[in-house]
Amino acid sequence: MKNKLLITSALVGGLALTSVAEAKISGSQKFGYAFSEGKDAATPGVQGYNRETQIDMSMEGELSNGVKVTAGASLEQDGQETKFSGAEGNYVAFNFGDTTVEFGLDHAPNLDDGTVPFAGTYIGTVANAVGGSSTGGRAGGTIYGSFGVAVIQNTPFGAVSLNYVPQQGDTDGQKDHAAADIAGQSAYEAKFKGNLGVEGLNVMLGANKRAFNSAGAEGKRDGKQRSASVSYNFGSVSVGYQDVENEKEDMSTVDTSIIGATFSISDAVTLGIAQEKNESTNTALKDEQINMLQVGYNLGAITLELNYVDVENRAGSSGNDVSGASVYTSFKF
């Protein structure tokens, strides 16, 4: 269920809003249970419930000069972690036909993305749920959580975007409208995602550069991340591959490869298989490998997801091997 409000002729801060804007409120709820066990006595397992609740608010309107504007924010709670302070999906965007200029954070196109198909949740998230925190992954060096400005250009072949962040780590979360001195430096990120005009094809290419903190610069460098992902849909079967290289500010580099395939048995049931490998130049970390099997069920009002995951050298720790499973139910409102 979606609730809609019409906002017109409101007085905000002494300014009258005379145009009509349509406001929407929607959300989702996700419940899960995960457990794992170590493959030797020295490796602990985990078990327990988890949940995620999200409320999304947005509005659409038109400026007096005819430019379309959209704005929104999200309120998210993962267990006891509450992101109600501004660090979740806040944005205002101005649309000029095929070109959009957006200000905000955690909303613009970013490198925490890919085209590899899954039958449910992203493989790194499933691994984290059973205590298999990854040394790499597609989100290792992204800047989506910092406040910035993005330009998105739609083309017949896909969307091209450029996101600039003046200060990494600035989540605009200070109380009473106060500014804050954030230790991070500037960063920018460029991305393309589209089908290149080929039905069934999905391609993503992107890169960023992150300036390091000048304090304690010895042994540091600018961070960089490059990501390339491609997938193809053959009808009931989809396959995909992604390669991510993250040159971290601490002089180490993490290479991540992700491969996955899904098979739709019916409109309601999808099977999935995936693997993620993380290799670091940090000699203290061992190569990590995550293998996953998934089954997704569409039950109409809710969805059900079953996952089995096997993690070798969890978090880059030699011999820290675990295997486990998780189940999720989710619904939208």
pLDDT digits (tens, 9 = 90+) for 96-110: 999 999 999 889 999
Which range marks the domain in which residue 314 is found?
A: 29-332
Residue 242 domain flag: yes
Residue 231 domain flag: yes
Residue 13 domain flag: no
Residue 4 domain flag: no
Residue 240 domain flag: yes
- What pLDDT, on the 0 to 100 scale, is given for residue 1? 45
**Range name among 178-187, 214-223, 246-255, 322-331 with the lowest pLDDT average:** 214-223
User: How many Å apart are CA 77 and CA 79, to the nearest integer?
Assistant: 6
pLDDT digits (tens, 9 = 90+) for 54-75: 899 999 998 888 899 999 988 8
* pLDDT higher than 80, residue 266: yes
pLDDT digits (tens, 9 = 90+) for 116-139: 999 999 998 888 877 666 667 888
- 187 falls in which pLDDT band (50, 70, 90)? very high
* pLDDT higher than 70, residue 215: no
User: How many Å apart are CA 111 and CA 113, to the nearest integer?
Assistant: 5
**Range name among 146-160, 188-202, 272-286 with the lowest pLDDT average:** 272-286
Nearest-10 Cα torsion for 168, 171, 175, 176: 80
Residue 5 domain flag: no
* pLDDT higher than 90, residue 270: yes
Which CATH number is 212's domain given?
A: 2.40.160.10
Residue 235 domain flag: yes
Residue 12 domain flag: no
- The tally of domains found in the chain comes to 1
